[in-house]
Amino acid sequence: MPERSFDGLHVAMIMDGNGRWAQARGWPRLAGHRAGAETVRRMVEAAPGLGIGTLTLYAFSADNWKRPQDEVAGLFRLFARYMRQEADKLRRQGVKFEVIGRRDRLPGPLVSLIEETEAATSAGSRLRLRVAVDYSSREAILRAAASGARDRASFHAALGPDVDLLIRTSGEQRLSDFLLWECAYAEFSFLDVAWPDLTESGVRAALDDFRARDRRFGAVHPARVQALR
């Protein structure tokens, strides 16, 4: 069955700065992650009105297992709480929820909750929300190759749609093993604001800047070709 097409841009977001945002206020790092969950809600609600059809969020990388055990456990509790509280709202809002990344290392109850939320929202057609958990782009590419992907079409089928715009908060300027294949021709926006402080207006400004860029995908703009003649 062919993959459903969602109207609008594919925007990916690296949700960076939660822990530092909390520590700057003298709070535990998990308080920053809780604030970051509220930002996720705002971004999901705002996305369709901003012309976003697919939103991919980097929640937990394969390298994040190196963090303190209590922080990792707290992140998983927050993720489970988000799904329990938001699943029905996502369904009513027409959001199709998906998780990308490995599941074999996640707690069993969390995997069951992911599967339940995906099933409950499977008919969504207004926004495709993809959350990367225990995710590594390098590993995803290797798995796609091992499964028999040999050309661009099969790799895209295994990995997902091309990214139009990648936004990373907290001022960091790197991909951190996120959507390497899908970002081949993505535009980038690095924002000097921590994830909990990201607003709809901030994303709108990044999208306005993106839409003003000249995306040629390796070609030359026809007007420039004419000017050279």
Q: Which residues pair with 13 in a beta bridge?
A: 57, 167
Q: Which of 16, 18, 134, 164 is catalytic?
A: 16
Q: What is the spatial distance between Cα 84 and Cα 99, in angstroms, rounded to a whole number?
A: 15
Dihedrals phi, psi of 6, to nearest 5 degrees: -105, 125
Strands 9-14 and 127-135: unpaired
What does the alpha-carbon distance between residue 114 and residue 7 come to, in Å, rounded to a whole number? 24
Q: Which amino acid belongs to residue 25? A: R
Give the separation between CA 153 and CA 168, rounded to whole angstroms.
27
**Per-residue DSSP letters for 138-168?**
HHHHHHHHHTT--SHHHHHHHH-PPPSEEEE
What sign has the CA pseudo-torsion 186, 150, 220, 160?
A: negative
Residue 64 designated active-site: yes
Helices and strands: H and E segment counts in the chain = 8, 6
The residue to which tokens 């992140």 are assigned: 75
Which one-letter DSSP state was computed for residue 9? E
Check 7, 63, 64, 151 and give the catalytic one: 64
**18 counts as catalytic:** no
Residues taking part in catalysis: 16, 64
